[in-house]
Amino acid sequence: MHFDNLWPRIRNKLVTLSLRRRGVSVRDKVVITGKLPRVVNLGAIALGYRVKFRAPSHKIRLKANPNATISIGDRTFLNDGVVVNASVGISIGKHCLIGDGVEMFDTDFHQIEEGAEVTTAPIKIGDNVWIGREALILPGVEIGDHSVIGARSVVTKSIAARVVAAGVPAKPIRSLTASDSFVRR
């Protein structure tokens, strides 16, 4: 084994142990390049096999509020500055690619108008979904398997499987061909 490869492996093992000490369920090991994620775990956070965090300049933030859950599937990749903030639940499938600065909030945090309730609803991201840079995913959204969300889109409503959606608010702009076994690289 080359010594050049030794430190990243040791660091990833130490980070995995640190996450587990903070109550994060880690199926195998976490792979981290750059800054360590900021984790606030007042609920439950579960990471699948080989979840990868890449944060050379901005920390990735995971926050599960009391009684909330965050689950991130096997081999999902989170990029620089991603924010996942759950008040109820946010589920991200396997083999997803989450771009720089993407933010996911399952609550509006405040009333929109007098007498209205605060909107809170779980978010579900399917398998093999690619979410482009600085997209915003809002409460109650479900994104189907193999879909792509364009950069800087604001996703306010659910998106079907195998489509490209973009815009403010995000709308499907074309369908995609993707077999069930297809995984993006």
Token couple for 177: 């061909």
Task: Round to whole Å and give the CA distance between 102 and 134.
Answer: 4
Please tell me which residue in 2, 58, 95, 110 is annotated as part of the active site. 110
In 22-62, alpha helices (H): none
Apex 138 CA angle, 133 and 143, nearest 5: 75
Task: Round to whole Å and give the CA distance between 134 and 92.
Answer: 17
The question of whether 110 is a catalytic residue gets the answer yes
Q: Which residue in the block uniquely carries the two structure tokens 């579900």?
A: 124
Positions marked catalytic: 110
